Structure 1
Amino acid sequence: MRPHVATVGYSRVSTSGQDHRLQNDALEAAGCDYIVSEVGSGANENGRPQLQNLLAKLSPNDTLVVWRLDRLARSVKELIAIANNLSDRDISLRSLNELIDTTTPQGRMIFHVFAMIAQFERDLIAERTKAGLEAARSRGSQFGRKRLLTPAQIRQAQDWLASKKMTQAQAAKALGVSRATLMRAIALKLDASK
């Protein structure tokens, strides 16, 4: 007797504020026997335990269905590794948005083309973000946490310490910061002046 073959849907949202309904409705309409849903960042492989568990439990002739390829993986390398692992185990992969079905040669070819396009798009976004940050920096914008000490306060602390008027702890207390913050600020100023 042939073992039961399952069509399993997988949906993922990145944050708890997002909703699985759109993905799950599409997966149900595609005829999935059941759907595994999780909340977790695609950027962190350890952030998707439900996916790892599902991939381990799939059997030969099963089909894994996703709403979009980016729900399954965040890089072309990871996506191809998952697809190859599934193929080696005789498990099919279907992506509803990209109309990919790896049970056919055309589906396998389209899968690789879409995977490359998805990576290209992510690379373009990363380049635009980097260019935007560099342009903002060149206009004088500063990013990160606001500095707790002004350059004048750091010079004052250096004077106190050099003249031995105050200890590190006393100087930090006078400026309203921790000793570690004061010493880090002084070290950064010294590094910048080299």
Structure 2
Amino acid sequence: MALIGYMRVSKSDGSQTTDLQRDALIAAGVEPGHLYEDKASGKQEDRPHLDACLKALRPGDTLLVWKLDRLGRNLRHLVNIVHDLTAREVGLKVLTGQGAAIDTTSAQGKLVFGIFAALAEFERELISERTKAGLESARARGRKGGRPFKMTPAKVRLAMASMGQPETNVAALCKELGITRQTLYRHVSPTGELREDGRKLLMGG
């Protein structure tokens, strides 16, 4: 059960040295010999040392990164990496930044990452819906209005996570999801509990 650290610096974001990342990872318990480092631009997808790092991980190990953006190129790439790690029984801990609550070795950290995963799925669906809406609009010039986007499993999961937070603005959430308040409450309660329509949607019928 080893702690493995991954670092990345990029000219595009101004981070020319890994000193800060290295110090933080070593302070968190990673042995210097268990550190992997890539130097890549933000657009460059080839990260040989990340590939080597992921291959070196064994069941029971934990991968540590300084910040979430050091690991994934984008949210979808990050979600795919963590799903792969989880399937291999490898944990992930983020030391600082907006993703610092992510620790897939704990129940709370898994919940936080579940929200990230739902966001990534929602992003894919939203892009798909916008594309379809654009095509429909192009085919039907002059038609006013249109029905809101429908509820989807990813939106239900995101709504559950959001409605469970006291600071959530319901109107803003509905606007972001592209649904009406009535549709939201048919699927999820004000406290984030699943309702019958939401349960049916998540169960596939």
TM-score bracket for this pair, using the shorter chain length: 0.5 to 0.7
Q: CA deviation at 1:99?
A: 3.2
Alignment of 1:137-148 (within 5 A): none
Q: CA deviation at 1:17?
A: 6.9
Residues 112 and 32 (structure 1 numbering): CA distance in 2 closer, same or farther, change over 3 Å?
same
- Indicate the residue corresponding to 2:109 in structure 1: 107
Q: CA deviation at 1:14?
A: 0.8
Alignment of 1:144-155 (within 5 A): none
Alignment of 1:39-54 (within 5 A): 39-46=39-46, 48-54=47-53
Q: TM (normalized to structure 1)? A: 0.53
- Distance in structure 2 (CA, Å) of the matches to 1:112 and 1:27: 24
Residues 25 and 114 (structure 1 numbering): CA distance in 2 closer, same or farther, change over 3 Å?
farther
- Indicate the residue corresponding to 1:13 in structure 2: 9
- Distance in structure 2 (CA, Å) of the matches to 1:107 and 1:86: 14
Identity %: 43
Which of the pair has more CA radius of gyration? 1
Residues 31 and 75 (structure 1 numbering): CA distance in 2 closer, same or farther, change over 3 Å?
same
Instruction: Tell me if structure 2 keeps the 8 A contact 1:11–1:67.
Output: yes
Residues 78 and 20 (structure 1 numbering): CA distance in 2 closer, same or farther, change over 3 Å?
same
- Indicate the residue corresponding to 1:24 in structure 2: 22
- Distance in structure 2 (CA, Å) of the matches to 1:72 and 1:17: 14
- Indicate the residue corresponding to 2:165 in structure 1: none
- Distance in structure 1 (CA, Å) of the matches to 2:29 and 2:39: 22
Say how many residue pairs are matched: 114
Q: Which amino acid aligns with 1:38?
A: D
* Aligned partner of residue 85 in structure 1, secondary structure: helix
- Indicate the residue corresponding to 1:70 in structure 2: 69
Q: Which amino acid aligns with 2:22?
A: N
Following superposition, which runs of at least 4 residues in structure 1 exceed 3 angstroms of deviation? 112-117
Instruction: Tell me if structure 1 keeps the 8 A contact 2:5–2:65.
Output: yes
Q: TM (normalized to structure 2)? A: 0.51
Instruction: Tell me if structure 2 keeps the 8 A contact 1:42–1:71.
Output: no
- Distance in structure 2 (CA, Å) of the matches to 1:45 and 1:112: 25
Instruction: Tell me if structure 1 keeps the 8 A contact 2:4–2:35.
Output: yes
* Aligned partner of residue 7 in structure 2, secondary structure: strand
- Distance in structure 1 (CA, Å) of the matches to 2:15 and 2:94: 24
Q: Which amino acid aligns with 1:21?
A: D
Q: Unpaired segments of 5 or more residues in structure 1?
A: 121-194
Q: CA deviation at 1:6?
A: 1.1
Deviation digits for residues 60-99 of structure 1 (CA, Å, limit 9, x no counterpart): 1011000011000021110000000000000000000113
